[in-house]
Amino acid sequence: MPSATVPGWLRRAIPDAQSLAGKGAGPNALEDVAIAAGAAIGALDAVVRRQERWAGAWRQRLALSAAAATVKQAGRVEDESALRDAVLLTRPGDFLSVGPAGRLLLAWRRLAARPAEDLLKEKCLAAGLEEFGYAPNDEVLGELADDLRQIGAGAGIVATLTGTFMAAERHGFARAVGAWLADALLAQRLGWTHAVPLLGAEAAFGTSARPRRSAASSVATGIETDPERAKGLLAAQARAALRAIDLSAELERRADRLLAVAPKLRAKAADLVVGKLLSNDAIVASEQIAGMSDRGLRRLFDRLVELGAVRELSGRPAFRIYGL
């Protein structure tokens, strides 16, 4: 199928929607932003439903961007390359060694990789919150899960988005957690098999004011939401959707190149390597591939780089990392 295209009117509408946040809270302004956001999500939905072979790499690359923004918001200095190193160059399962910034990347990768239907279950919520640096007790987890179920049961587009952030804030969680939860809930409501990391990469959205510690029912319906905040969140979601669509078009071109040269590869297990490159943000040159030696894998990556099918992402002579 052809690359995703976004109509010009929608690209023009998104910045206009963002600027509306400072022009009063009239219902027409909020409606304009909601229309733009709905159109952007609709365009993104078309990309998701194509279920392309490179979708895993796409979601993981978006997770990396979200993690980098989250790290910056937390006052840390790690960039995307440092985050990638923290996770890929650490022994799998060594949760502590990846460091606080690396654990934030693990949280966003969890969102991108786990089935969407599992993301808001208490077990997955607990694991994700731990990666964000929280240790909620069972009561808090239960209340948060209940809030999210109420929001997802019947709230409209505005109440769903704003109510999710209110639920996170009511329990003392940071804005990045609200973004994670909102992305998960969007995926569930649209019936996607996996969530697409969107809002985490937005540097600023909505207002910073916290809602009153109201009843769960108020959080779930979003009744007390500031319209200015709603517009900021919707505009951010629209921008994030267009950014994800643009990245999908870029990765589609790169994946097509990889798939075009794949038949020329004579190395054993080359198909497994191609599959991993399409499913992940990146893989290390020392990746354990059944049926392929370390030397054989390095030679295969050199060949793929020579053919223009993959890129070396670290810029180092050793501990190299490759991806689309």
Instruction: Tell me how far apart the terminal alpha carbons of the chain are, to the nearest angstrom.
Output: 19
17 pLDDT above the threshold of 90? no
- Out of 55-69, 82-96, 207-221, 294-308, the most confident range is 55-69
Domain end, chosen from 252, 279, 306, is at 252
176 and 140 within one domain: yes
pTM of the model: 0.90
pLDDT mean over 175-188: 96
Residue % of the chain over a pLDDT of 70: 86
304 and 160 within one domain: no
For residue 258, being part of any structural domain is answered with no
239 and 286 within one domain: no
226-282 pLDDT tens trace: 788 888 899 999 999 999 999 999 999 999 999 999 998 887 888 999 999 999 999
301 and 174 within one domain: no
Phi-psi region of 206 (alpha: psi -120 to 50; beta: other; left: phi over 0): left
Domain of residue 283, residue span: 265-323
299 and 180 within one domain: no
Residue 24: pLDDT band (50, 70, 90) is low
Higher pLDDT, 1 or 280: 280
CATH number, domain with residue 296: 1.10.10
Domain end, chosen from 252, 280, 300, is at 252
For residue 40, being part of any structural domain is answered with yes
Domain end, chosen from 213, 231, 252, is at 252
Which residues 6+ apart lie within 8 Å of 70 measured at CB? 104, 107, 108, 176, 200
272 and 210 within one domain: no
If one counts the domains in the chain, the total is 2
Cα-to-chain-centroid distance, residue 276: 19
Per-residue pLDDT at 113: 97
